[in-house]
Amino acid sequence: MNDKVLRKKGKPLSIDEKWMVIQVYQKCNEERDQTPYVATEDAHSRTANYTGVGRRQVVEIIRHFKDTGCVVPSSSAGNRIVHYTNIPSIAEEQIRQFIFERHLAGEVCNANHIQDLLKEMLKREIPSRTIQNHLDRMGFSYARTRKKVRSLREKLYVRQQRHSYLHNIQSLRNLGYSPVYLDESFLHHYHGHQFSWFSETIGDYLERPAGKGRRWCFIHAMLQTGLTANTCYIFEAKKSTGDYHDMFNAPHFQEWWINQLMPNLSEKSVIIMDRATFHLVPEEQIIPTAMRKSELQNWLTQKQVLWEEYWLKPQLIEQVNASIDKTPIVQKIAEQKNHKVLLLPVHHPELNPIETLWAIVKNECGKLLRQGTQFKQVREHLETAFNHITPETCHGLYDKVQRKEEEYWLTDVELDSLDEDIV
């Protein structure tokens, strides 16, 4: 035997391997009692050497066995690791509604009220600083009320952006445009359903490896009558960590837009998408702050934009910024096909029904996770889950979003009227 470790480091122990660790430890203890002339005092270290398992893990397994008579239970499958100081995205809609209700009632609302709300919802306490940071990301800040007391209020640009979106989408519906929602997401190799574990009485165990594994990125679009035909695009991410938006880029998205989305849309469609950077890339991509003064002058001259010789670089940059055509390339392509493009308001994923569809698809894939599931099989599960989406499901999601749109419209009008009296 050499010193080479036979077992791969980082690989999680199966139930059988944990029992083997216990049996080796017991054998080492017996040798210590029977052969006192052999250096067998540290049974934990000898067990670690014989099994290739770290000594610390051996100690944990033996301690748990002595306390309970069982091996250490397996980790939950999939990416269900909960960071108890984080606020799940599913709670954002309730937070926003809670703040609106207190605003309309003329009651003060602060981070302590949100902390109590989350404690009741999540059955755990979220730190106040975490809540404050999350509220800022949601578009809320503190402002004076009629009682001259600081209270949480939605930033005005967020409310106006939402209200303008609601007006535009309803106007386009009235003109006969069919809404088409699109979005991107991802699925990890070891994404498991919330209840992806098996009873010990059956003897079937699902061991979750360290980490979430590789991941499939995908993009799709949906109509009220179902998923759009031939618009599902799935590819493997180049890396398994970080924001999944990093896996997409403008050329990637534009290629999908031209080759898969445009040919499969009906006449008069309004395409609704979020404000991801790669969605909004304009035709002319220049960075004025990175240009030399002479380059700025030449650009303005070519565009037939007036400028003065005495202008310094800051004013030239300002003039270039004001003159750049920032219309996204994909929007121009859509308008050539008589379609419209509408951007979702910031911080409002609940207005995109495909967000809920992702949860349905991922849950179905999670239920299919089994010990030994290959990465390529996960893609097959993903395609199968998309095929199982019914028109009734999409219709129900559309109805839910339209009800939410009506609620927001009425709330915006009422809040605007209420805030008008505040000086």
Q: Is 380 or 419 the better-scoring residue by pLDDT?
A: 380
pLDDT of 204: 46
- pLDDT digit string (tens) for 88-116? 888 999 999 999 999 999 899 999 999 99
Give the Å distances, CA to CA, from 206 to 60, 154, 371.
20, 45, 5
Instruction: Mean pLDDT check: name the lowest of 40-44, 80-84, 272-276.
Output: 80-84
Between these two residues, 62 and 117, which has the higher pLDDT value?
117
| DSSP conformation class of 138 | T
Distance CA 231, CA 256 (A): 8
Residue 201 pLDDT > 50: no
Please give the C-alpha separations between residue 151 and each of 97, 111, 143, in angstroms, as whole numbers. Answer: 15, 9, 6
pLDDT tens figures, 364-392 = 998 888 777 889 999 999 999 999 999 99
Highest mean pLDDT (candidates 24-28, 134-138, 234-238)? 134-138
State both tokens at 228. 């759009």
Measured in Å, how far apart are the chain's first and last C-alpha atoms?
A: 83
85 band by pLDDT with thresholds 50, 70 and 90: low
Give residues with Cβ within 8 angstroms of 310, minimum separation 6.
none
* Predicted local confidence at residue 106, as pLDDT: 87
**How large a percentage of the chain has pLDDT more than 90?**
56
Kindly state the tokens that stand for 291: 């240009």
Residues 123-130 have a mean pLDDT of 89
| Cα 114 to Cα 98, 105, 126, 151, 297, distances in angstroms | 8, 16, 9, 12, 52
Task: Identify the pLDDT of residue 54.
Answer: 83
Encode burial over 27-54: b for 16+ CB neighbours within 10 A, e otherwise. Answer: ebeeebeeeeeeebeebbebbbeebebe
pLDDT at 77: 47
On the question of pLDDT at 162 being above 80, the answer is: yes
- Using 50, 70 and 90 to split pLDDT, how confident is the model at 202? very low
Q: Which residues contact 194 (CB under 8 A, 6 or more apart)?
A: 80, 363, 366
Tell whether the model's pLDDT for residue 200 goes beyond 60: no
CA–CA separation, 342 and 146 (whole Å): 36
Tokens at residue 77, please?
Answer: 């499958």
Amino acid identity of 109? C
Please say if the pLDDT value at position 346 is more than 60. yes
Mean pLDDT of the chain: 85
Q: Is the pLDDT of residue 203 over 50?
A: no
Virtual CA dihedral for 411, 415, 417, 420, nearest 10 degrees?
-160
Q: What is the pLDDT of residues 255-299, one digit of tens each?
A: 999 999 999 999 899 999 999 989 999 988 888 988 999 999 999
Q: Are strands 178-188 and 150-154 parallel, antiparallel or unpaired?
A: unpaired
- Position with higher pLDDT, 240 vs 330: 330
The pTM score is: 0.75
Structural contact between residues 303 and 288, judged by C-beta atoms closer than 8 angstroms: no
